Structure 1
């Protein structure tokens, strides 16, 4: 595991446009999900003269399907950012009340967009699917929460976990990923992750700012080649 002091963004970057951009991107993603939820809600419509022959079952979805549409982002266990933010907000309230430490980790699949362009969506999906499973297997199912920021970026909420503990998890995930092999035809594709870590009470009190700081730390690693962990 890298020394956090040697892998740390310049403090000045948090007062510049980079940090504000991270804040804005996270807020925009939450608002985007709210809009999608309103526009595409899976509610049944009453039968009319032209569709009365449709089977009654066509107007219903199962509880499991409703749960997937409401909370998860395509994969069970990977939550939509809006739900993740609500969970983080509640966890921070508990942390403040009981004087606990809570960490947030942003994980980026290094070179994902290059893989998508060069080898196509099937190969990119194979890699992202493996990373999602890696994150789910590495997280504590009874405590941790994982959200999706974008196709190649995820955010983890680690309650009652100090920054050092979060860094240990990142290191463990990185080592596990290094044992996995990804190929396109006969070409071996090296895959690494960039991690950014922030935590309460050291870095921020606000959920959005906590994610933005971890996101900026993750970007700091990505810009330097990836495959490492940085603290906000």
Structure 2
């Protein structure tokens, strides 16, 4: 897994320097290796990183306004920015300055005057590290059986989305899903067949829920949960109805179910103004999921 990644063309490096000459020099050194973007200030850099998430930031130490050092500290203290590696480009190469770089959270520094080959090698090394870290992070968030997001990802993402919702007043809906009579299926057809059903259901859910910001997660066992940012309850209701019909429409045999095929039950909830926590949102979805099961399964209910 930790082999060198030779093709860095899709990686993006953000250069932060208030000198046009230095920006041109750095672009010239790196443009054949990766994508390069530039800004002139630390404030612009932080805004850019919030919106576009570059793979590496090359930051000048001394900038007009906020210093590169302060910008690095701020980014390291911001969860959604803390994983972006920062390399300082600086003429301050003494021991005390280096110590300040490390303490601020930078991963490296490149001394001025720039030696192009040294810069290229440092950038190549840190882009490789970033790619490998992303691979590991993705593996830790993927369910090994179904290939969709796992419970760890869900716990992280739903907390982030709720915080974002409170900040910008966007809607957030969730759909909790349970495969009906799944234990009976396993008992009758065997666990290998049950695993195959889990994979088929996960694939169908993911095929239908396709917006880039939406997430389909395996919650545990035969349970799934879908996160729908910027989706009000009515929109989530339509999606739940589509999912219930689609799974039944696959017509996967299940003779131990009164429906004769694999079906799902779903509970739909949205984060209301009074919904201040992950637990309250999930409790609402879980409550109406239970109501869907009580209503005969192969259906959905909404938390009004």
Q: Which moved more, 1:67-76 or 1:88-97?
A: 67-76
Give secondary structure in 2 for the equivalent of 1:227. Answer: coil
**Equivalent residue, structure 2, for 1:166:** 236
Q: Offset at 1:216?
A: 2.0
CA distance in structure 2 between the partners assigned to 1:138 and 1:75 by the alignment? 19
Contact 2:266–2:300 (Cα < 8 Å) also in 1 = yes
Q: Which sections of structure 2, spanning at least 5 residues, go unmatched?
A: 1-131
Listed one character per residue, the Cα deviations across residues 128-158 of structure 1 (whole Å, up to 9, x for unaligned) are 1111001111113411112222221011110
Matches within 5 A, 1:1-232: 66-67=136-137, 69-75=139-145, 78-183=148-253, 189-201=260-272, 204-232=275-303
Listed one character per residue, the Cα deviations across residues 3-27 of structure 1 (whole Å, up to 9, x for unaligned) are xxxxxxxxxxxxxxxxxxxxxxxxx
Q: Offset at 1:64?
A: 8.3
> Highest Rg: 1 or 2?
2
CA distance in structure 2 between the partners assigned to 1:139 and 1:77 by the alignment? 15
**Equivalent residue, structure 1, for 2:53:** none
CA distance in structure 1 between the partners assigned to 2:290 and 2:190 by the alignment? 24
Please report the TM-score for the alignment, with normalisation by the length of structure 1. 0.65
Q: Offset at 1:201?
A: 1.6
CA distance in structure 2 between the partners assigned to 1:202 and 1:163 by the alignment? 13
Please report the TM-score for the alignment, with normalisation by the length of structure 2. 0.51
Point out which structure has higher relative CO (alpha carbons under 8 A, 6+ apart). 1
Change (3 A) 1:203 1:74: farther
Change (3 A) 1:183 1:192: closer
Contact 1:77–1:146 (Cα < 8 Å) also in 2 = no
Q: How many residues align?
A: 170
Give secondary structure in 2 for the equivalent of 1:182. Answer: coil
Change (3 A) 1:205 1:199: same
CA distance in structure 1 between the partners assigned to 2:190 and 2:146 by the alignment? 24
How large is the Cα RMSD of the aligned pairs? 2.6
Moved over 3 A (4+): 62-69
CA distance in structure 2 between the partners assigned to 1:203 and 1:167 by the alignment? 20
